[in-house]
A = this chain, B = another copy of it.
């Protein structure tokens, strides 16, 4: 039956993306991203709560994430929730919930201003780079 599983996040990267190249030719980039909520506690004090999201970007998006995303950057991520299980060191089943990215946009800065952009020539290349990346859809639905 028809269903919808959609996530929209705006926040800052907690670390540089880490890219792994899988057997079979697939690649995946993982990074974390923080969103913040504010509320008043029972004493009326303003409290901040940070939520950390695990983002995974596959194939073409992985390469773009590796190339353009850096710790501290503000990004828009659209994707879907996926919980997968794995075995921990004691061989117990554990669960981790991730956001599989379908679209990533760089916000709030010139892409040329990326912290690790090395040199002038590269920087101008980056400055002209697109700042919205979308997953290629035929590839978007491989089993993983």
Chain A positions within 8 Å of B, measured between CB atoms, are: 1-12, 34-42, 47, 49, 51-53, 74, 76, 78, 80-83, 94-97, 99, 105-110, 130-132, 134, 136-137, 141-143
Number of copies of this kind of chain in the complex: 4
Report whether B51 and A2 are in contact in the complex, using a CB–CB cutoff of 8 Å: no
Main SS class of interface, A: strand
User: Can you show 21 pairs from A to B with CB atoms below 8 A apart?
Assistant: A1-B110, A2-B107, A2-B131, A3-B9, A3-B35, A3-B105, A3-B132, A4-B9, A4-B35, A5-B35, A5-B37, A5-B53, A10-B10, A10-B105, A10-B107, A39-B141, A39-B142, A40-B141, A49-B143, A95-B95, A134-B137
